[in-house]
Amino acid sequence: MTLPSEYLEYPRRGHGQDMDRHDWQLAKDRKPVRLANGKALAVMIVVNCEFHPINPANTPFRHPAGMVTPYPDLRHFTSRDYGNRVGVFRILDSLKSHGLKATFPVSAALLTRARPLIEAIVADGHEIAAAGLHGDAIHWSGLGPDEENRRVEAVRTAFGEAGLSPVTWMSPARQQSFATPDILTAHGFTRTLDWETDQVPVPLRTDSGPLTALPLHNELEDFKLMIERHQSEALWRDQVIEAKDFLLAESQTHGASVFGFTLTPFVTGQPFRIWALRELLAALAGDERVWCAGADEIAQAFGQIDP
């Protein structure tokens, strides 16, 4: 058994990207951004409210926060639900007490199931984003474009019926297919939180106009650091504040940038963790060079104007 000769052919081997969604550009060669509001750092806090079904298909993989044990996994179903019932309100209260605005990707399944949560997010002035149908409705190329299109259309319809018209999209488990960006813009989504890519928003090419990729740092996810990697709340807080301070220092030569990080309600919203969030938010709110805003507002401030 040997590999075919095409395995050593490299049709996209050349300067820059090996795909066409965006062009290659070094961060150091970018024209520094000066924000109209004079701030040096746009902080994008992403509070990820997903519904994790107790009967997942786990196709093509299990969502990292999905069910674990054989059916019925009451343990993980109810622990995740804790985030959307209890933990998220601690996060909302903490944001409010510091006057900070965030982006809340929510599963379409929560629009009816957890309607009071949706109303609370809207009442507090945060941006609502779409997080797909639910945590187990993962987008990937095996779905085929028709099925993926139906899913995004169903999400758009569900939000419309809830009186909401989000422009920002985060895929379940932040997984996409090759076609996802085209399908998203066809349904009116112009921002995505799936591609980390750069320290500033980057427009992705799609069949229906640009889709702005806002940098959301994979390596600073609260779930990843505190659950998967067993780091302490104090270490998580310190790393988020360190990133803020680093980017503020870099802004003196590189201009304004975007700093996106994730808060998972069933993780950070625990009673014994919320102190760390309060300290972290105090550090953001107490720094006059920092501007906390929703994903769409940040994209606009960085010149990514809706078509």
Partner 1 sequence: MKPDPNLYDYWPYRDRPKIVWPGGRKLAFWIAPNIEFYEFDPPKNPKRPGWPRPAPDVVGYSQRDYGNRVGHWRLMEAMDRHGLKGSVSLNVAMCDHCPEIIEACVQRGWEFFSHGIYNTRYSYEMDEAQERAVLEDSIRTVEAATGQRIRGYLAPALTHTPRTLDLIAEYDFWYTCDLFQDDQPQPVKTKTGKLVSMPYSLEVNDVITYGALAMDPWRYADILKRQFDQLLEEGETSGTVMCIPLHAYLVSQPHRLRAFETALAYITGHTDEVWFTTAQEIAGFYRENCWDQTIADIAAKGCATGGTGFEGETA
Q: Mark the segment that binds partner 1 (CB under 8 A) among 154-162, 166-174, 191-199, 224-232.
A: 224-232
Residue 227 binds to partner 1 (criterion: CB under 8 A): yes
Whichever of 61 and 275 has its CB closer to partner 1, that residue is 275
- Number of shown-chain residues binding partner 1 (CB under 8 A): 39
Residue 81 binds to partner 1 (criterion: CB under 8 A): yes
b/e per residue, 30-39, with b = 16+ CB within 10 A?
eeebebeeeb
3-state SS assignment for residue 195:
coil
Residue 158 binds to partner 1 (criterion: CB under 8 A): no
Residue 97 binds to partner 1 (criterion: CB under 8 A): no
Strand extents, DSSP E, the chain: 41-47, 103-106, 127-130, 168-169, 191-192, 202-204, 211-213, 257-263, 290-292
Ranges within 116-155 binding partner 1 (CB under 8 A)? 116-117, 120, 134, 136
Residue 71 binds to partner 1 (criterion: CB under 8 A): yes
Residue 161 binds to partner 1 (criterion: CB under 8 A): no
Residue 62 binds to partner 1 (criterion: CB under 8 A): no
For the packed helices 88-97 and 274-285, what is the interaxial angle rounded to 10 degrees? 30
Residue 79 binds to partner 1 (criterion: CB under 8 A): yes
Residue 4 binds to partner 1 (criterion: CB under 8 A): no
**Given candidates 37, 55, 97, 157, which one binds partner 1 under the rule CB under 8 A?**
55
- Indicate the burial class of 58 (C-beta count within 10 angstroms; 0-12, 13-18, 19 or more): exposed
Chain position carrying tokens 């949560």: 117
Query: At its nearest, how many Å lie between partner 1 and the CB of residue 98?
Result: 17
Helix-then-strand count for the chain, H and E = 11, 9
Ranges within 178-217 binding partner 1 (CB under 8 A)? none
Residue 51 binds to partner 1 (criterion: CB under 8 A): yes
**Given candidates 17, 59, 78, 157, which one binds partner 1 under the rule CB under 8 A?**
78
Strand extents, DSSP E, 214-264: 257-263
Residue 59 binds to partner 1 (criterion: CB under 8 A): no
Whether 212 contacts 294, CB under 8 Å: no
Residue 239 binds to partner 1 (criterion: CB under 8 A): no
Whichever of 27 and 57 has its CB closer to partner 1, that residue is 57
**Given candidates 32, 72, 142, 209, which one binds partner 1 under the rule CB under 8 A?**
72
Q: What are phi and psi of 298, to 5 degrees?
A: -65, -45
Query: At its nearest, how many Å lie between partner 1 and the CB of residue 134?
Result: 7
Distances from the Cα of 135 to the Cαs of 45, 145, 205, 212, in angstroms? 20, 19, 26, 22
> Which contiguous run of DSSP H or E holds residue 79?
helix 74-82
Whichever of 194 and 221 has its CB closer to partner 1, that residue is 221
**Given candidates 85, 96, 187, 254, which one binds partner 1 under the rule CB under 8 A?**
85
Which amino acid, residue 290? V
Nearest to 169 by CA among 125, 124, 216, 236: 216
Contact residues toward partner 1 (CB under 8 A) are: 51, 53-55, 69-72, 74-75, 77-79, 81-82, 84-86, 89-90, 109, 113-117, 120, 134, 136, 227, 230, 232-233, 270-275
